[in-house]
Amino acid sequence: MKDMVDMKNIYEFPLLKDFLRVIDLIYQSGWGENNGGNVSVMIDESLLLDYLDINKVIRVIDLSFDASYLANKYFIVTATSSYFRNIKKDPESLLGIFKVSPNGKQVFLLWGYKANNLFTSELPTHLMVHASRLKIDPLNRVVMHCHPNSIITMSHVHELNDQSFSLSLWRTMTEAIVVFPEGVGVLPWMQSGTTEIGIATSEKIKNHRLVIWAMHGIYGVGQSLDTVFGLIEVAEKAAEIYLSCKPHEILNNITNDQLKEIAAFYKVKNVRYEFLK
Ligand code: 2HA
Ligand code: ZN
């Protein structure tokens, strides 16, 4: 354990700084209106030790679901009803850093959620998605949920099917298949904040780093905040182009053969070639 005098200021913690930067980017992009959106990052203990006394638990919070698959893991997570536009003004109220208890029934709060605040209502989905994705990619750290306009709009006018939704996004611009070669997973409208949507999302996220919640928003996962933001940014731009083209007579589109050509040229891994049959 570190002596308190050796402890660095938590606001110098690079991950916290990056978190605040990306939350602001989400807000500036218009994807985190009002209290929309929530983000969680799993923190390696070794990174945290210089900034927090991990033995000083400030509150024990019960969970309504079993998180034993993430026992003893540390997370930084946005608070419930946190307005993304306000987080940088008051991180200690609107963010929390906690450790999942050894039995997975509680979390041990180490910093944040001031004034008896609480983690996001989407915590069941976040933790289930972390657990699911870690089995595919042990370096996965980030789960990001937000409300990008064109993705939501597209979910109103496009059939909700992984293959056809992915193809429609890929056909809009060369970059799309390079950035998300595994395509996107699409869920029909479901009630958010529930264990059911958490289970459904954690299933879809095994095959895709992006899962669209129809008429709601998107979940993205990856190793860093920047890569996940970038993934969502490209999907959102592709959706925007899809929607701009839709009212017009479409004369040109990227064909299946051209999508294969792009994948070969950039030596893209994990392409869902069965979507191109
Ligand atoms: O309230 O985005 O899904 C935050 C949300 C719920
Ligand atoms: Zn949402």
- pLDDT for the residue 5: 63
- The label of the residue with tokens 């496009």 reads 158
Judge if the beta carbon of residue 38 lies within 6 A of ligand 1: yes
Q: Bin 65: left if φ > 0, else alpha if -120 < ψ < 50, else beta.
A: beta
Identify which of 94, 50, 101 has the alpha carbon closest to the alpha carbon of residue 74.
101
Ligand nearest to the CA of 81: 1
- pLDDT for the residue 6: 78
Per-residue tokens: 168: 């429609």
Question: Contact at 8 Å (CB) between 43 and 75?
Answer: yes
Q: From CA 58, how far away is CA 194, in angstroms rounded?
A: 27
Q: How far is the CA of 193 from the centre of ligand 1 (A)?
A: 8
End-to-end C-alpha distance for the chain, whole angstroms: 57
Judge if the beta carbon of residue 220 lies within 6 A of ligand 1: no
Strand boundaries in 101-232, DSSP class E: 106-112, 142-146, 185-187, 210-213, 217-222
Judge if the beta carbon of residue 198 lies within 6 A of ligand 1: no
Judge if the beta carbon of residue 37 lies within 6 A of ligand 1: yes
The residues of the chain scoring below 70 in pLDDT are: 1-5
Residues labelled catalytic: 122
- pLDDT for the residue 4: 59
Burial class (CB in 10 A: 0-12, 13-18, 19+), 130: buried
Q: Which residues pair with 111 in a beta bridge?
A: 97
Q: How far is the CA of 218 from the centre of ligand 2 (A)?
A: 8
Burial class (CB in 10 A: 0-12, 13-18, 19+), 96: buried
- pLDDT for the residue 2: 55
Q: From CA 160, how far away is CA 155, in angstroms rounded?
A: 7
Q: How far is the CA of 212 from the centre of ligand 2 (A)?
A: 11
- pLDDT for the residue 3: 58
Ligand nearest to the CA of 35: 1
Q: From CA 212, how far away is CA 215, in angstroms rounded?
A: 9
Judge if the beta carbon of residue 194 lies within 6 A of ligand 1: no
- The vertex-186 CA angle with 183 and 189, nearest 5°, equals 165
If you ran DSSP here, which 8-state letter would residue 80 be given?
T
Tell which atom from ligand 1 comes closest to the C-alpha of 37: 2
The whole-model pTM stands at 0.96
Q: How far is the CA of 210 from the centre of ligand 1 (A)?
A: 17
